[in-house]
Chains A and B, each alone.
Chain A
Amino acid sequence: MSASFTGKVFVVGDNIDTDQIIPAQFLNLVPTIAVEYERLGSHAMAGLPTGLYSVPFVKPSALDSEYGILVAGRNFGCGSSREHAPIALGSAGCRVVLAEGFARIFFRNCVSTGELYPCELLSRLCDSVSTGDEATVDLDAATLRLHHTDTVYSFKPLGEVRPVVDAGGLFNYARNSGMIAR
């Protein structure tokens, strides 16, 4: 699994709950049905109030996002246990979320599904980066480098959850490591 990602950053603030990540009206879509998985991606972050976030994460009528890296404040992914949330982000093409803090179930769902690397920042980043900035995330070094300023920010190493996401989620990991039968 590639240890670094380069792409555009999308920035949000504190307390982004799962209703904002994937609004409830789209929970009629079943993530294990391939076409519905795709459609979930097209609605990723559609619940952000437009007054606060003028740029959409996914352009109207697009299936995927141009932002591969999400930067957030405290308590990202709070609210419901819907796995549709990390799945919508993953389906839209996002690979990594860096937040000051994560809600427990969202963090776990990122790992179980293998959709996203949830990285905990060591300092508040969402006030110093802007949506559209180019950056590189290096999972081995646990850093994010902002291209235009060449500043490097560190996050907590992923530790024991890294190999689970690398493997593509809980089931692949459990099979590879012999926890469940192949």
Chain B
Amino acid sequence: MTLTEKLLARAAGKARVQPGDNLWVKADVLMTHDVCGPGTIGVFHREFGKDAKVWDRNKVVIIPDHYIFTADSLSNRNVDILRQFVRQQGIPYFYDVIDDPDGSWKFDAAQGNLKRQYGAQYAGVCHTALPAKGHTRPGEVLLGTDSHTCMAGAFNQFATGIGNTDAGFVLGTGKLLLKVPETMRFRLEGRMQPGVMAKDLILHVIGEIGFDGATYRAMQFDGPGVASLSMDDRMTVANMAIEAGGKNAIFPFDARTAEYVDARTRLNGTKSSYEPVEADAGEQFVFEMVVDLDKLEPTVACHPDPGRRKKARELGGMKLDRAYVGSCTGGKTSDFVEFARVLRGRKVVIDTFGVPATPDIVRDLQGTFWSGRTIWQHLLDAGVQMTENAGCAACLGGPVDTFGRINKAGIKCISATNRNFPGRMGNKESEVYLASPATVAASALTGCVTDPRDLLSG
């Protein structure tokens, strides 16, 4: 069996499964957020009753992150719906925006967008927060009401996105009927060259198989090249499996996985035991491809879908209006470090926005010094508009007052996020080009799509 088949077999209590089998799978964690949580809670109460209790309150994780720093009153209300539910259910893992469990959330637009407006428990973007807060464990099943839930496949677990109705069902029963997907294998060899990042790897793969090349399938990344990828890198790759239509992404377990997960579960006091899955000798794949990491180059996915792959060099000279670094896939500490390495000592020439995925990342960037100045200060010096209000922000457009949102037609934006469908970052007549944080930085410095290696050398 493949890694995905083994994970699903275990969660369904079966010795063997094969692609196409429909299984009742037990969830180890159900995650929801402010955009899909209120609807999920609505379904749960409608179907199981007003006073119903969730199947296991220790297995529900609720992370407001999408429409937080906006004056939109319905969005603020949605965070309050989550808080009321948490109170009614006694759910321990709720990463509220505010500290008062009886309070209500209201964004204060008068204070502006840049200064932090959250309390001590707020955790930022759900997919980045889940591992950081100790909720991802090898061998487990994670279901989330968000398509990028597949990011947790980096931790050798089955993780996939589901809708509100399915999530309401899981809240009540702890299980879900899932079909075992066929597995596509991507065998990684070699090591990425300087200036090339995990984002380039996944954009390359999606370009190869197409925007629907993995529909209904699992994407397994293995081979000797995995060892050289950090957990952040693996998360970037797994995150975008959905951009090829994938049901889930999966990485093997190794010492890096263990180190990360052990440190995070210990720090946060979450469940620390887990049992990874290992590959069998007789794995059956529906598709196999070798990716030579040495040969990868800075890559861009052109508007309007993540499969429109071009090398950054091929697009050289294409004028841009805006640059953006942020999101679950591209707003981690390592992403900002690469972004800053390219920008350091230089000035951006187009509007450039930086939104860290989580408050911990804000802290990292404000607490790490390069020649006496923090990374955060280096970014400000370069002219980047940095916000402390970590979250999804303009990655998915959101309400019109969202930081970094594209509110004008005709804007061309290069972005380290994961989607570039029409209107994804705001105005539906604008264009988004996806690239690594290094490529975004190089392009922000020149105002055109630029290969970061042209600036790093020397």
Contacts and interface: CB of A to CB of B under 8 A. Distances in A.
A180 interface: yes
A131 interface: no
Interface string B69-96: 0001011001001000000000000000
Interface string B153-186: 0000000011111101100110000000000000
Interface centre among A15, A30, A82, A103 (most CB of B within 10 A): A30
A75 B245 CA distance: 8
Given A23-B428, A30-B39, A105 B398 contact: no
B354 interface: no
Interface residues of A, number: 42
Contacts of B172: 180
B9 interface: no
A102 B169 CA distance: 23
A38 to B, nearest CB: 14
B320 to A, nearest CB: 19
B164 A83 contact: yes
A19 B396 contact: yes
B310 to A, nearest CB: 17
B166 A104 contact: no
A51 B39 CA distance: 33
Interface stretch (B211-219, B263-271, B443-451): B211-219
Interface string B37-79: 0110111001100000000000000000011000010110010
Given A17-B419, A28-B78, A105-B163, A80 B400 contact: no
B245 A104 contact: yes
A87 to B, nearest CB: 8
A28 B66 CA distance: 10
A47 B145 CA distance: 21
B399 interface: yes
Nearest to A52: B422
A15 B302 CA distance: 14
Contact of B165 (A29, A79, A103, A109): A109
B43 A32 contact: yes
B423 A81 contact: no
B421 interface: yes
Interface residues of B, number: 51
A11 interface: no
Contact of B212 (A30, A78, A83, A170): A78
Interface centre among A29, A32, A47, A51 (most CB of B within 10 A): A32
Interface of B is mostly: loop
Contacts of A23: 397, 423, 428
Interface string A36-80: 000000000001111100000000000000000000001100111
Nearest to A31: B39
A141 interface: no
A83 B165 contact: yes
B50 to A, nearest CB: 13
Given A82-B36, A103-B245, A20 B212 contact: no
A48 B429 CA distance: 9
A80 B147 contact: yes
B216 A30 contact: no
Given A28-B75, A49-B423, A82-B36, A19 B42 contact: no
Nearest to A15: B305
A31 B423 contact: no
A30 B161 contact: no
Contact of A79 (B36, B216, B421): B421
A109 B46 CA distance: 17
B245 A30 contact: no
Contacts of B163: 81-83, 105, 108-109, 112-113
A24 B35 CA distance: 10
B212 A27 contact: no
Given A83-B165, A171-B165, A28 B422 contact: no
23 contacts: A15-B211, A17-B305, A19-B396, A20-B428, A23-B397, A27-B35, A28-B67, A28-B78, A31-B39, A32-B46, A80-B146, A81-B145, A81-B161, A83-B163, A84-B39, A102-B215, A104-B215, A104-B216, A104-B245, A105-B163, A113-B165, A171-B169, A174-B169
Given A32-B39, A32-B43, A83-B165, 8 more contacts: A17-B305, A27-B67, A32-B164, A47-B423, A81-B36, A103-B245, A112-B165, A170-B166
Interface of A: 15, 17, 19-20, 23-25, 27-33, 47-51, 74-75, 78-84, 101-105, 108-109, 112-113, 169-171, 174, 180
